[in-house]
Structure 1
Amino acid sequence: MTPRQARDGAQLKPVPHGLLQAFRAYESALMSDDVAALDALFADSPTTLRGDAAGLIVGHEQIAAFRAARGGAPKRRIVQTHVQVIDEDHALIVAVTELDRGGRGLQTQLWARDPVRIEYAGWQVTAAHVSAPEPAFDSRIWRTVGDPLISSHTADGALSGETVAVKDLYAVAGFAVGAGSPAWLEQAPVADSHSAVVATLLDAGASVRGIARTEEFAYSLSGLNAHYGAPPNPKAPGRIPGGSSSGSATAVALGHASIGLGTDTGGSIRVPAAYQGLYGIRTTHGAVSREGLHPLAKAFDTVGWMTRSPFLLQAVGDVLLPDSPAADVDEIHLVPSLVGLASDDVATAVGDALPDAKPLAWAPSLDEWRQAFVTGQAYQAWQAHGAWLETRLDTLGEAVRGRFEMARSVTREQAAEARAVLAQARAEILDVVGDRVLAFPSASSVAPTAAEAAEVRDDTLRLTCIAGIAGLPAVSIPVRTATGLPAGLCLIAAPGRDRDLLAVAARRPAVQA
């Protein structure tokens, strides 16, 4: 590293005192994961920036939270350093990095000096951008991927040119269903035919880009697969992607595929769609064939998909959904009691997206309903997988293992009591919904960090269980909070009104995140 790197006309500007020492201190702290030192070397300002391929993080507080959660940076060494001096108190440093795993990257930092600060001679980073060689295959997102993996033989179908990320619960001919579990995948048979949904999408001209990751047996809402890692969330770097259709969601959000095929039992389309700024639909229970779909809880499992565009979301519906008479939606009813379950920023974003919505007074017994839903889902999950898991619970990640251990303990009597509660809840929900379209948040918060995920799960389930209990279609429309993070506006309607909800979403592209 040379002490003179920048020209001012014919004169080289000397590198300001203490800058290179601060730069070296930053690199040392990065390699030792000294979070406190890294925080001190970044300017404590809401305008401080840190960007990479996953997105831009704004503000020292958010950057510090990202750094604390990531568990250290990839090991590397600096091979070139270039300094452009702006003035005595500002400089740009561009460094070429060489990663231990191979490949080279770039690190660009804007440094500023605060003459009042003593530490590091007053130098701090005010903006940084990091680029690193991307892995050819990101196993957090994909189980297997191709270019494409399976081609459509239809050149002029309604979905020609579109690509599908298939959640690893659907049968794809020539591959086993892995269900997010290495132990299950090891013994799973290879499918000799496509699931009904995959076959229909191929017939419509779409190709299969690859098989996308899911959480183990789709029994979670976080996207944190203990074996393969969490797919990144490009719309909210450092935060969870949402599950269990997390791989499909991330593939779409990153542009790896245009359609993310998933499932929704308790929110596994709506939550990742909300967290990643996507459009998503959970279809009416039973409206789309589940032939060839690995179950979690058959009484609640539904087919769903996510896209970046409301028009593509609707186009997929035109292919997969049964024909039904269209009904105009003149009015949307916002449910204040459900909006109140969300954090203030999400509640505000949802309300701002529907300034003309009519409020609907409704006070459902959500605590009781959520618990009955969790119990009923657990009982069915154990009926579906208990025989195989009984001696293999130790193969599961901690969080999913805990849910299956709870599921194993649910008695027939408890399941019957839950079914009775759910039957009453379903009748009430159908009566309230009637011919209305109701609106409320898709999830109770923006995407949390991994450490915060458990804190928001129950409130989110209180919202998502409503459609699950009554078998309703639900569409999540992306909105944006005041801080720029994505959230979701959920619309529900009576069973069979999927196309009506898709039409509403297609008329509201302005609210997308």
Structure 2
Amino acid sequence: MRRASTLASLPLLSRSLSTAHGGAAVTSAPTTYGLLQVALYGTTSTGSQVPRRWLDSFYGGSGRKLAIGVAGTLASVAVATSLAPEVYAKEPPPAALVPKEVVLYQYEACPFCNKVKAFLDYHDIPYKVVEVNPLSKKEIKWSDYQKVPILMVDGEQLVDSSAIIDQLNSKIVPERSAASSSDDDEEKKWRQWVDNHLVHMLSPNIYRNTSEALESFDYITSNGNFSYTEKISVKYAGAAAMYFVSKKLKKKYNITDERASLYEAAETWVDALNGRDFLGGSKPNLADLAVFGVLRPIRYLRSGKDMVEHTRIGEWYSRMERAAANLWVLLGLGLAGILLMTRKLKKTIREDFGAFVERLQLLPPPQPAPPKAPHPLTGLTFAVSDVFEIEGHVTGFGHPDWGRTHDAASRTCPVVSTLVEGGATCTGITVVDELAYSITGENKHYGTPTNPAASSRKPGGSSSGAAVAVAADLVDFSLGLDTVGGVRVPAGSCGIIGFRASHGSVSHAGFIPVSTSLDTVGWFARDPNVLRRVGHVLLQLPYAVSRSPRQIVIADDCFQEVKIPVDRIVQVVIKSTEKLFGKQVLKHENIGDYCNSKVPSLKKFHGLKTNGEVKTSSLKLLANVVQFLQRHEFRHNHGEWIDSVKPVLESATSAQICGPLEASDEEIEICKSIRNELRAAVSSLLKDDGILVIPTIADPPAKLGGKEMLSEDFRNRTFGLLSIASLSGCCQVTAPLGFYDKCPVSVSFIARHGGDRFLLDALHTMYMSLQEQADIASKSRSSKNALTKEQSAEIAKEKGNQAYKDREWQKAIGFYSEAIKLSGNNATYYSNRAQAYLEVGSFIQAEADCTKAINLDKKNVKAYFRRGTAREMLGYYKEAIEDFRHTLVLEPTNKRAAVAAEKLRKLFLKSLMENLLGLLRIRVKRGVNLAVRDVRSSDPYVVIKMGKQKLKTRVIKKDINPEWNEDLTLSITDPSIPIKLTVFDHDTFSKDDKMGDAEFGISPYLEALKMNLEGVPSGTTVSRIQPDRANCLAEESCIQWKDGKVVQDMCLRLRNVECGEVEVQLQWIDLPVIII
């Protein structure tokens, strides 16, 4: 049904009006290349934004229509404000200091223009925008300054973004003069960083490849201030030209990897915040506004989305969006303008939250006469998803073409009839995903229902409308179809209870099938008592005494798939279980490993698909199987209709069900075997009184318009979780656990096939305790300042774990370092950071972290194993052997440790057969009189290269005579390759500066190694090498026999620099015959 729309959230609408989609470099030449230069960043709007005090002058007069329009606008803004989320408090300047007339001449998405706009928005200064045509620049012909931004303030022209902000700030915020000099210095430094570094990261990123260049110019030509002919000519030519220009910009600014440079800049800024909400503390300062303004143009391009997804800047950016929201830029749009922008850019919230496609009423029969009991569902209302047949109504199946090509049902689905006969009243039919196939909850034909728990997030599907109807308190319960998460996913996304019945336990008659072997009826409720009452009616269960669980099995590997802190879910379940049933019922299991041993047909399926060449986890294999079955059976049920009607489908749905499907009889039989084996495996694990605990979905509910749910990674992780119950046919219930970062959080319980009553009773028993524990956990995290150091450290560790899973090693190291800084006596933090160091080849740091972890916890098995790995890579074989053996002493049955140790041994033996002569350990001792590259000193470090091998020392801060004393180990296969040593000065805001280089060979050293020096007195000089033009020696180099080893000391004079020497020592490491 259609419902009247209302304006919802002001910040999102404000953002849509002010957010830019690119960045700019401004030139004055009115040529095609000039256009490309000035339009480096796409635009979003060409309309002017009219402030409140100029309404009369811009609309002319004060007639009845204007009064109505302004009144409507003010009312709309009032509604928006009342519904908006909390905004950071502002301190608008006194009215006497606010300029009377402000006009900004700009390109909508120019980063420098956006800097000025961010300042105006934050201080609620009304202003008008004049969009300048980049070619003709006719809008600024009157000015001698032919660049943007130009700001006219009460008739005075201000130019240059930084100068504009400084002048305005001095006028409207006079108390700034009283600020501390240290605060001003920090603010000034980071404002300079924005102009000199950050802004140069944008163009190479938005024009990184042809598709991103086209994306940018699509925004430019669609929304920029161009004539019709200019739009036609510039889009493709401009995109192609800027793609090549961006390559020159990369070279100019020494950018090797566009995304990496952008991510590094974002992380640098977050580090500068040092835990504060803003650089200015509790409110933004000029540096905050500058960074926000520059980044705003790219935020919703692919590069900006990647930046927010892969760095920690997202939370700060969201705070800035709220802080910089400007109410007055809305007023000039008028009522029609606001409604237009709302319709285009914001999801409207309908009266029924968009849950229903049709309202109806099916009334229950009269109550029986006493003494008979009333109907069990008396007084309850419910809705049904648009897959269940109701007599006289056409079942829509989430697509208008289905309804158009099918007749009304001749009878009502038995499940619906049973509920009505049980005393409940059916009030309507609810939205499902297109052909009930997806799990996003979106439907372009009937509109996506609004998630009452998080209006900016997708409701989840396929039974999205049914979940929303319950979550919005429109009905007491609702019916849905769960194939692969159709009830569980929306329940988790909307913060309500969702139950998937055991396959075959509820009649399959009277609903449209999706995948016959996976389909089962499910239902939603807010109250566990209602959920159980409905279950008893549908499952036709006789009365029985409720039983408590005797084992609650936590699937540890499943929780490793989620992207919220594991403790947020697991600890709630553990504490609730201990309180109700005691610790003895808790058990932990790796479900992937369990399935691998109990479901042998998984390997057969994998072998058919990949010939067994690619190793895949069991959970991912289950995800592949369930998607294969769903697609095959859907095509079997509805392929003929799809081929004949050819309905218009969303691209993601179409790709799944319309493409060719090769399904051999052997594959189908293997899938059936997997279903049977998995059901038997789960029954064996849980028996009659066990519950398996898993996450419901892998991620928080996806943002509206987001594409996260379409990614292969998301589908693999989420379908791996959903497949356990879908393939085994077991029953599963989803229970809400409050919120985390303003998104609903849930957990799921699985019982054996046929254990529906037991599971409903168990949830009924546990529900209140789960909510209490979730509330306690939520309150402990509700205030950032209320977090203890230990809690903050745990959060940092979890973020590090997630970064590690995402293969973002340096990011993981940063998070683990943050955890160590907060709580330095936790061995796990050091051990985890050591593993990340191993991934990036920082073996010295890894060894040091493992040693620290072992000192804190003598039984830390992982630390011993990781230190053994680091030492093996450094050439400390005796010590490595001891660590590997200690690992197995602590855990003799640890197969992973034994297999890993054996694997390392074999790898090393293999390297012996590939002509590895040995290892050369280079001790970088110290630098002498190095060049100055900063104001008075340098931050030097050394890089050693030999062929493709590259190692580096740590950075020594502010020292031109640094002492490193670090060992770097090279593998020697070809001794004729020279070794190159380069010294760099580390810079935070620009590319590291070179401080000279040197080169040396190791042939003389290897010749000395061949000598039989056993019995020679320690300290004997074996050979001397004199400095000459052919080498970089600063003085004579001696090769000596010391303590049973051949060592060579060298003092290298650096080339291509004004001064500097580096002292090193060479030492050979022979390869042992046996490793372990």
Instruction: State the match for 2:91 in structure 1.
Output: 113
Q: Pick from 145, 150, 154: which aligns with 2:362? A: 150
What code does the residue aligned with 1:378 have?
Answer: R
Instruction: State the match for 2:113 in structure 1.
Output: none
Instruction: State the match for 2:60 in structure 1.
Output: none
SS at match of 2:72: strand
SS at match of 1:332: strand
How many residue pairs get aligned? The number is 435
Question: TM-score, normalization: structure 2?
Answer: 0.37
Instruction: State the match for 2:768 in structure 1.
Output: 509
Distance 2:78 2:350 in 1: 12
Instruction: State the match for 1:169 in structure 2.
Output: 387
Deviations for 1:461-509, whole angstroms, at most 9, x for unmatched residues? Answer: 1011101111101111111344242122111111111111111211222
Q: CA deviation at 1:345?
A: 3.1
Contact 2:551 2:686 in 1 (8 A): no
Instruction: State the match for 1:336 in structure 2.
Output: 556
**Cα distance change of structure 1 residues 328 and 27 upon mapping to structure 2, 3 Å threshold:** closer
Distance 2:701 2:326 in 1: 23
**Cα distance change of structure 1 residues 359 and 254 upon mapping to structure 2, 3 Å threshold:** same
Instruction: State the match for 2:427 in structure 1.
Output: 209
What code does the residue aligned with 1:141 have?
Answer: A
Mapping of residues 193-208 of structure 1, within 5 Å: 193-208=411-426
Distance 1:421 1:202 in 2: 37
Q: Which stretch shifts more, 120-129 or 221-230? A: 120-129
Residues 1:465 and 2:716 aligned together: no
Q: CA deviation at 1:136?
A: 5.4
**Cα distance change of structure 1 residues 468 and 399 upon mapping to structure 2, 3 Å threshold:** same
Contact 2:483 2:515 in 1 (8 A): yes
Deviations for 1:145-170, whole angstroms, at most 9, x for unmatched residues? Answer: 14xx2222244421122111100111
Q: Pick from 392, 409, 415: which aligns with 2:645? A: 392
Contact 1:165 1:208 in 2 (8 A): yes
Deviations for 1:328-366, whole angstroms, at most 9, x for unmatched residues? Answer: 324322111112121233662243233334323432321
Contact 1:222 1:241 in 2 (8 A): yes
**Cα distance change of structure 1 residues 28 and 501 upon mapping to structure 2, 3 Å threshold:** closer
Instruction: State the match for 2:622 in structure 1.
Output: 369
**Cα distance change of structure 1 residues 481 and 121 upon mapping to structure 2, 3 Å threshold:** closer
Q: CA deviation at 1:29?
A: 10
Deviations for 1:228-270, whole angstroms, at most 9, x for unmatched residues? Answer: 2211111122111010010000011111111110011111111
**Cα distance change of structure 1 residues 28 and 211 upon mapping to structure 2, 3 Å threshold:** closer
What code does the residue aligned with 2:391 have?
Answer: A
Distance 2:122 2:507 in 1: 66
Residues 1:359 and 2:588 aligned together: yes
Q: Which stretch shifts more, 484-493 or 205-214? A: 484-493
Instruction: State the match for 2:445 in structure 1.
Output: 227
Contact 1:376 1:419 in 2 (8 A): no
Instruction: State the match for 1:289 in structure 2.
Output: 507
Q: Pick from 677, 688, 698: which aligns with 1:424? A: 677
Contact 1:108 1:128 in 2 (8 A): no
Distance 2:769 2:423 in 1: 28
**Cα distance change of structure 1 residues 433 and 137 upon mapping to structure 2, 3 Å threshold:** closer
Instruction: State the match for 1:98 in structure 2.
Output: 72
**Cα distance change of structure 1 residues 461 and 79 upon mapping to structure 2, 3 Å threshold:** same
Mapping of residues 229-244 of structure 1, within 5 Å: 229-244=447-462
Identity %: 28
Contact 2:124 2:326 in 1 (8 A): no
Higher strand share: 1
Higher relative contact order (CA 8 A, sep 6+): 1
Instruction: State the match for 1:491 in structure 2.
Output: 749
Q: CA RMSD in A?
A: 3.7
Distance 2:658 2:376 in 1: 45
Distance 2:564 2:355 in 1: 31
Instruction: State the match for 1:63 in structure 2.
Output: none
- Any unmatched runs of 5+ in structure 2? 1-8, 22-43, 54-68, 94-115, 126-321, 328-337, 343-347, 368-373, 579-585, 596-617, 775-1076
**Cα distance change of structure 1 residues 223 and 395 upon mapping to structure 2, 3 Å threshold:** same
Q: CA deviation at 1:430?
A: 2.9
What code does the residue aligned with 1:207 have?
Answer: T
Contact 1:231 1:247 in 2 (8 A): yes
Contact 2:415 2:507 in 1 (8 A): yes
Instruction: State the match for 1:500 in structure 2.
Output: 758
Q: CA deviation at 1:27?
A: 9.1
**Cα distance change of structure 1 residues 121 and 490 upon mapping to structure 2, 3 Å threshold:** closer
Q: CA deviation at 1:458?
A: 2.4
**Cα distance change of structure 1 residues 440 and 316 upon mapping to structure 2, 3 Å threshold:** same
SS at match of 2:551: coil
Distance 1:311 1:275 in 2: 21
Q: CA deviation at 1:276?
A: 0.7
Contact 1:79 1:98 in 2 (8 A): no
Residues 1:477 and 2:743 aligned together: no
Mapping of residues 37-56 of structure 1, within 5 Å: none
Contact 2:454 2:742 in 1 (8 A): no
Q: Which stretch shifts more, 279-288 or 346-355? A: 346-355
Distance 1:137 1:210 in 2: 11
**Cα distance change of structure 1 residues 31 and 114 upon mapping to structure 2, 3 Å threshold:** closer
What code does the residue aligned with 2:696 have?
Answer: S
Instruction: State the match for 1:188 in structure 2.
Output: 406
**Cα distance change of structure 1 residues 122 and 187 upon mapping to structure 2, 3 Å threshold:** same
Q: Which stretch shifts more, 331-340 or 119-128? A: 119-128
Question: TM-score, normalization: structure 1?
Answer: 0.76
Higher helix share: 2
Q: Which stretch shifts more, 355-364 or 315-324? A: 355-364
Q: CA deviation at 1:424?
A: 3.4
Deviations for 1:390-429, whole angstroms, at most 9, x for unmatched residues? Answer: 1334422222111102474444444334334444333333
Q: Which stretch shifts more, 189-198 or 445-454? A: 445-454
**Cα distance change of structure 1 residues 304 and 118 upon mapping to structure 2, 3 Å threshold:** closer
Q: Pick from 13, 16, 19: which aligns with 1:36? A: 19
Distance 1:474 1:407 in 2: 32
Instruction: State the match for 2:111 in structure 1.
Output: none
Mapping of residues 83-94 of structure 1, within 5 Å: none
Q: CA deviation at 1:137?
A: 6.1
**Cα distance change of structure 1 residues 412 and 287 upon mapping to structure 2, 3 Å threshold:** same
**Cα distance change of structure 1 residues 474 and 96 upon mapping to structure 2, 3 Å threshold:** farther
SS at match of 1:448: coil
SS at match of 1:153: coil
**Cα distance change of structure 1 residues 421 and 108 upon mapping to structure 2, 3 Å threshold:** closer
Deviations for 1:43-101, whole angstroms, at most 9, x for unmatched residues? Answer: xxxxxxxxxxxxxxxxxxxxxxxxxxxx99xxxx9999xxxxxxxxxxxxxx98638xx
Mapping of residues 392-411 of structure 1, within 5 Å: 392-406=645-659, 408-411=661-664
Q: Pick from 166, 171, 178: which aligns with 2:396? A: 178
Task: Specify the structure having the higher radius of gyration (Cα).
Answer: 2
Q: CA deviation at 1:288?
A: 0.9
**Cα distance change of structure 1 residues 380 and 121 upon mapping to structure 2, 3 Å threshold:** closer
Instruction: State the match for 2:702 in structure 1.
Output: 448
SS at match of 2:658: helix
